[in-house]
Amino acid sequence: MTVIQNTRGSNSFDPAHNTAKSKQWFARAQSVLAGGISSSARSVTTGELPYPLYMDHGCGSHITDVDGNTFIDYLLSYGSLILGHAPEVVTTAVCDQMAQGSMFGTCNTVEVGLARLICESVPCADLVRYANSGSEAICGAIRAARGFTGRSRVLKFEGHYHGWVDVLAVSNRPNAFQTGALTNPSSHPHSRGIPAGVVEDVVICPWNHPEILLSILDKYEGQFAAIIAEPIVANNACTMPDPGFLELLRNEATRRGIILIFDEIVTGFRLSIGGAQQHFGVTPDIAVFSKALGGGTPLSAFAGKAEVMNLVASNQIKHGGTYNGNPMCAAAGRAVIEALLSENLLERMEARGQHLMEAIRRAASDFCVPCIVQGTGTMFQVVFTPDGRPIRHYRDLLSADTDSYARFRQGLLLRGIHANSSGSACWFLSSAHTDDDIAYTAEMIHAAMGDLR
């Protein structure tokens, strides 16, 4: 395996020289793509480099950039590649379907077969509707909740991410001046261009604060269409729910006639085959899926209780899309779920991920670096905090040492380990990661943590 060499190792490494082709490609991209990128999430540099790395190909747990540098990948397209890069079962399913036709704009049998698997696997899924991205499916779920209840307000938790579209792009990552009081958080638009009326319909609540939640629910009694949450806050430090908090959401939503939506775009088919709702034993009214569901193809879905979804079924709540449920992506999704069901993949991934989490904790202890590692074995994050306490809600992250994370991540990258560049997002495991990958990564984690002394 050719990897970027550690600058402290026996081989001297010049990042600018070893990534010259990426630099050239970024210059070309800037002339034709806005900002040289296709997503705001990619508007990052590569440590000391003022440009991103351009990947050329991936296989299993590894990716290789245009300069030939190979990395063990723990980004996995933000958790989408649960079976790794180019898994045979997915590529075969997609290629076989492509030979029959990629899409028809009509009903097809493949989408039905996949929906059956989803309904059999996910506790809340009586009926399914497909979309193509997590953001699209979120829009469908919110419209379904509003259409069912006849209300417009949505309770959203501070720091939870539900896509880039206007409907919920509010208080995703506000700074300390934008948050407002903890007991009455401000609703702050994530971007310019989001209408004020949209923002006003989104009421913000801090995560893991039962008393404040109840106060806000009382204040807006009879006005909420939905409560939406990432059961594990994947986009902000893998923040876990406190014991009983998800149950409280379920009980209050039921008592007040509010639709409970779990954003399982990240946790779905990853935390367990039935997602976070199965893992925690709390069933929402609607759940939203993407990432692992498509196994690397643009596929998403919202699924829910028949009582709510029947209004979508009867076309009283409109939902459409030319690409929805296309057989190519549905074939990929079916291959992923069948693989997860047929083998003990999630349990093995969990065990290997727990090994890495413990390796980070040991390395931090060895070098007296304060940090917390939280999440589960299949998805976790390390946060460098002053006191090493767990992150319980978004505002705890405002004091995190982001410079230390950047240095840690850069040290790993130079040693051939590719992880998320954001200090608040996740590491992901795939079924393609081997014991050798985990052993090598654990060794490099120790070395990279030593750089922080």
CA distance linking residue 251 with residue 273, whole number of Å: 24
Annotate 116-180 with DSSP letters as a single string. Answer: HHHHHH-TT-SEEEEESSHHHHHHHHHHHHHHHH---EEEEETT----SSGGG-BSSS--TTTSE
Spatial CB neighbours of 318, under 8 Å, sequence gap ≥ 6: 143
The CB-side HSE value for 418 (13 A sphere, CA atoms) comes to 24
The beta strand positions in 176-232, using DSSP E, are 180-181, 184-185, 202-205, 224-229
Question: Is 318 designated active site?
Answer: no
263 assigned to active site: yes
Residue 88 contacts residue 82 (beta carbons within 8 Å): no
CB under 8 Å to 369, separation ≥6 — which residues? Answer: 363, 384, 404, 449, 452, 453
CB 47 within 8 A of CB 409: yes
Catalytic annotation present for 285? no
Cα 43 to Cα 286: distance, rounded to the nearest angstrom: 32
- The Cα–Cα gap between 42 and 45 comes to 8
Residue corresponding to tokens 């004020």? 196
Among 74, 291, 394, 396, the active-site one is: 291
Residue 13: CB atoms within 10 A of its CB come to 16
Beta bridge partners of 189: 170
Residue of 161, 166, 285, 401 marked catalytic? 161
Classify burial at 446, counting beta carbons within 10 Å of its beta carbon; exposed 0-12, middle 13-18, buried 19 or more: middle
Contact in structure between 231 and 124 (CB atoms under 8 Å): no
Distance CA 441, CA 130 (A): 37
Nearest to 289 by CA among 42, 157, 122, 107: 122
Q: How many helices (H) and strands (E) does the chain have?
A: 15, 16
Distance CA 70, CA 19 (A): 12
Q: Could you give the C-alpha distances from 371 to 367, 378, 449, in angstroms and in order?
A: 11, 19, 11
Which H or E element spans position 303? strand 300-304
DSSP codes, 2-34? --PPPTTSSS---HHHHTHHHHHHHHHHHTTSG
Choose, from 263, 285, 396, 437, the residue flagged as catalytic.
Answer: 263
Residues marked active site are found at 161, 263, 291
